[in-house]
Amino acid sequence: MDFRPTQEEILTRKNAREFAVKYVRPLAAEIDENHRFPEETVEKLAKYGFMGIPYPGEYEGAGGSFLSYIITIEELARECASTAVICSAHVSLCCWCIYHWGTEEQRRAFLPNLCSGRKLGAFALTEANAGTDSAKQETKAVKDGDKWVLNGTKVFVTNGGYSDVFIVFAMTDKTKGNRGITAFLIKKEDPGLTIAKVEKKMGVCASSTITLVLEDCVIPEDRVLGGIGKGFKVAMTGLDGGRIGIAAQALGIAESAFDETVAYLKARRQFGKPLSEMQALQFEMAAMRTEIEASKLLVYQAADMKDRGLEYSMYASMAKLFASETAMKVTTKAVQFLAGYGYSKEYPLERMMRDAKVTEIYEGTSEVQKMVIASHIFKEER
Amino acid sequence: MKILVCVKDLESSDLNALNAALALTEDVTVLTVGPYESLTALKEALARGALRGILVTDKSMAGSDTLATAKILKKAIEKAGNDFDLILTGRESKDSATALIGPMLAELMDLGQITNAVKIGEGTAVKEEDGMVIEVAYECPVLMTVSRDMGTRDAYDMSGIFDRKPVEIWDAEDICIDKSEVGEKGSPTKIIRIEKAVAKTDGEWIEEDTAAETADRLVERLREERTI
């Protein structure tokens, strides 16, 4: 067992931090305030090779490991959680499903544009009546000769307003439940696609979250991803990897909030001494630091298992469950410790606290993560 | 154009030297003398676009001063082909910041040198010295030390990190240098003692309306600072 980062991981973190400090930090407060999708940052992420880190050069990816990609999400999230989730939804939900489940023709048709960042990807699974119970898909796809016709409405589609490619899940055989769901590759220019609503959110305000309506969306049959009836598996593959991305996002938020708090406690004097000399606060900070470190180990372990081709689903859920709850705890306490300054929009802590909350919700709530973990525990015991 | 850049750490003006080289040509070799850990700086230089990376590392070289290091660099450059049009170094390293290695290497190699370059053009370069900006003509081969004021820091394309270009690793034997010329034995500089310089803080001026009030205020301040 070796907990030391490799040369590549050291350089990845250094470069990602340099990028994030230079291009992400200056915009973070403004894009949150104005609920503005940072197109200029996405262009820069593409230019600097961040939009396809874990994919091979033949698809115009950077050829790195999943762990290296996870480190970049952590570093981006330190500065701006919205920017981190734009990258994460694109890389680990959209691109990964195509890379893992696509035919060679589909990979060649879609991945170079996505991995280079020339185009942006999204993943459209959730519906108004199919959230955690994602098998209750009401979007339908019907075969018509050599075409498929899709009808339905998807909600909470991350990146949706700016995406060129959507992975859309639809019921192709209602009688089969989970096994009746099929994944489709949909392009922005396909007929019958409408963005019906742009979501207003509590946090990650600069990421685009939309409702996507498909009305007689006709697409050729070669857009089926992973085979007919394999949609649920495709979705779970995407979410397993995606959860490590969200866990890394939560980790970055927690680390950043923690660092801000340390600096504040050292500088702020009350009752004739710095707050950092008060044991009640020291103990709280010690516990927080320990939980952040535990999150980090869980996140890196899950990513490393994925790189090694091991079964990592349960570990991804553990990483997300623990890292997101740690981020919520750390940011909430950070706001409390900074008190008025924590609550004020002049400082980044209140934004971090709002951003942290969603990490306990999207790509599977904390409750879903517990369901996944429990299913593995009891599957193992049989 | 073929350029060799001597780097120690990319936190210093060495990065400016590397960027200056990459702006002039694709054919950039980076050379480092140091412990095995220096590999990270070389890997970063390769990730940023250099073609060839060379690490010279040998236990016997530990403790080398600027002169011994310059001798090692000269030998390594000879082994690397000795056909470089331009040899660049940062003006000074981040740690000891002597700004000696570049000029010493130029002397040992019998090359012309331009120190503290802020701009490198074809046949001419601009250097800064004592607040003056001086444009000088040069002929290759030549050695230049590059100022921290040349260019700006930036991130680079992530794919560079995963290109996995190999680094050539050489020891004293590989570069044909006598071990007596390197390390503490080969270093005329003897450091007796190093201590941290204490920065003086600004004083505080106390002046009240009368001498007595000034004295009272002084005593009060000294008590606050727990000096008395």
Q: Is the pLDDT of residue A158 over 80?
A: yes
Residues of B in contact with A47 (CB under 8 A): 157
- CA nearest to B224 within chain A: A272
Average the pLDDT over A65-90 and give the result. 98
Model pLDDT, residue A240 = 93
Model pLDDT, residue B17 = 94
Closest-CA distance of chain B to residue A276, Å: 20
Mind listing the pLDDT tens digit for each residue in A113-145? 999 999 999 999 999 999 888 888 999 999 999
- CA nearest to B39 within chain A: A7
Model pLDDT, residue B9 = 86
Residues of A in contact with B40 (CB under 8 A): 7, 10-11
Residues 6+ apart with CB under 8 A from A14: B44
Assess whether A260 carries a catalytic annotation: no
pLDDT tier, B148 (very low <50, low <70, confident <90, very high otherwise)? confident
Name the residue among A351, A325, A326 with its Cα closest to residue A338.
A351
Here the ipTM equals 0.90
Q: CA A354 to CA A356: how far, in whole Å?
A: 6
- Whether the CB of A267 is below 8 Å from some CB of chain B: the reply is no
Average the pLDDT over A64-68 and give the result. 97
Residues of B in contact with A19 (CB under 8 A): 155
Q: Retrieve residue B52's tokens.
A: 């060839």
Q: Say if the Cβ atoms of B155 and A57 lie within 8 Å.
A: no
Mind listing the pLDDT tens digit for each residue in A87-114? 999 999 999 999 999 999 999 999 999 9
Name the residue among A27, A137, A127 with its Cα closest to residue A86.
A27
**pTM listed for this prediction:** 0.89
Model pLDDT, residue B79 = 96
Q: CA A1 to CA B56: how far, in whole Å?
A: 30
pLDDT tier, A382 (very low <50, low <70, confident <90, very high otherwise)? very low
Q: CA A58 to CA A108: how far, in whole Å?
A: 9
Angle (deg, nearest 10), helices A39-47 and A81-88: 60
Model pLDDT, residue B228 = 81
The mean pLDDT value of chain A amounts to 96
Q: CA A108 to CA A122: how far, in whole Å?
A: 18
Residues 6+ apart with CB under 8 A from A307: A65, A66, A67
- Whether the CB of B11 is below 8 Å from some CB of chain A: the reply is no
Name the residue among B110, B113, B101, B109 with its Cα closest to residue B34.
B101
Q: A with B: how many residue pairs have Cβ under 8 Å apart?
A: 56
pLDDT tier, B50 (very low <50, low <70, confident <90, very high otherwise)? very high
Mutate to test the interface with A, among B44, B152, B161, B226 (most CBs of A within 10 A): B161
Average the pLDDT over A51-72 and give the result. 97
* Active-site residue, from A18, A79, A363, A367: A363
Average the pLDDT over A244-253 and give the result. 98
Residues of B in contact with A64 (CB under 8 A): 158, 161-162
CB B20 within 8 A of CB B1: no
Model pLDDT, residue A381 = 53
